[in-house]
A and B are shown apart, each in its own frame.
Chain A
Amino acid sequence: MSTQTTLETAVEEGRCGDRLWLYATYHCNLACGYCLTESMPAIANRRTLSAETMIRVVREAQELGFGAIGITGGELFMLPGAAETLAEIASILPTVALTNATLFTDRLLARLEPLAELDIALQISLDSDEPDRNDAFRGPENFAKVERAIPALLERGITVRIATTVEDQTEDELARLCVLHRSWGISDDDHIVRGVVRRGRAELAGMGVTPGVTDILPELTITADGAFLHPFGPTVRHGVTDLDLLVSRQVAPLERAAERFLRLVSDQPVGTDVARNIR
């Protein structure tokens, strides 16, 4: 059976998703307490995928039958050509790109304008409607920057989703956050809420919950370290990548990694997808 057919069957059976994830870089301008990847400005190993690699992987993913792309990190916009790379990727497959939205200068916003014509959403992290509470999770002035970035993106016709990572927020606080995103014109469908996953820095800090094997839908995830079972796999502790969810070191051609991924998911019990969207 071809890899394409096997992928199609596995997606139909609910064994995996048809989204392929890319960890663009582990470098970040922030250093959130629950970060899965120990991302921070001074990170020693940035594990960056070149634009050429990402575009090659996405082209191969389309040929293999993947239906969508997710781009995460680290912070994608730490990479100089991120806007143009995103546009190229989104012209191949529907894309969601995760960002902390703190680097959107007027110049960058102008370079992002072509995204309005493409099937792409920028998924922006926001943890509270209260600036102080949000910034306690995500760093000083984070709220103010996000509050400026979201309307600026929406004005340019770019689709925005909000992602909230729940640690100790109250129900009221989350409800107020929903009021806030609705006030920007972002629907509840475009607000993703998930708990802190106890891996990476969150594990070292004793935060979050440990996901069970069937708690996270397998979605092939490509990083500079190899291919992983899902986007919560390639986490980092003490500067070292966790390998427990590594599927394949080889990612070129993508088909080799996809074959190994599909072999593994065919052996795994079908689970419930509780936390599909990283961060």
Chain B
Amino acid sequence: MSRLRLLQRDEAPLPARSIYGADGSASPLKRSLANAPDLLETLLPFLGQIYDEGAVDLATKELVVVRVSQLNACRYCLAAHRPLALEFGVDEQQLAAVCDEIPLDSLADRERTIIEWSDRYVLDPGAITDELVARVLDYLRDDQMVELAILIGATQMLNHFCTAFDVPPTA
């Protein structure tokens, strides 16, 4: 049971109504965020840019989002992003690996390196070494690392939000 009101479109503050579809639908996350409409002015464009394709392709982004959500045990984000990851080109085996259903070793070098770096970024950023960054830079430019770092931060924020407020995957 959500600890925040999941506002229907006609209950939502006027400035937040645009986040609902023409049929009045919106995800439970958006419906909870509608309680704080001022923040949506910047938060949604920010999230839109971070989660959309940028310098990093969507498959890599979704792989990282699912992994971070798995580390944070976020029921909401896992339910939302597992199907998206498949849609954007992550394969079943990669998904199983980042969800700890099979060993991470099964990932190809590129994905395994990126996930190793993102795991440290989430769990112990002080333990990231120059050597690890150098290995990541074999696959990503520095601006792409920045983009993934901000994506990880945003995902952590949403993981904590959805878990703390018990936002249900479906409502």
Contact = CB atoms under 8 A, between A and B. Distances in A.
Interface of A: 229, 240, 242-250, 256, 260, 263-264
Contacts of B38: 248-250, 256, 260
Interface string B4-30: 010100111111000000000000000
B37 A246 contact: yes
A244 B37 contact: no
Contacts of A263: 15
B11 A244 contact: yes
A244 B15 CA distance: 9
Nearest to B11: A244
Interface residues of B, number: 13
B43 interface: no
Contacts of A245: 13-14
A247 B15 contact: yes
Contacts of A229: 14
Contacts of A240: 5
Nearest to A264: B14
B11 A242 contact: yes
A243 B36 contact: no
A249 B11 contact: no
B40 to A, nearest CB: 11
**In this complex, which of A229, A247, A263 has the most chain B Cβ atoms within 10 angstroms of its Cβ?**
A247
A256 B36 CA distance: 14
Contacts of A256: 38
A246 B13 contact: yes
Contact of A260 (B7, B11, B15, B36): B15
Nearest to B8: A244
A244 B5 contact: no
Most buried by A among B7, B13, B15, B38: B13
Contact of A249 (B5, B7, B10, B37): B37
Given A240-B5, A243-B7, A249 B14 contact: no
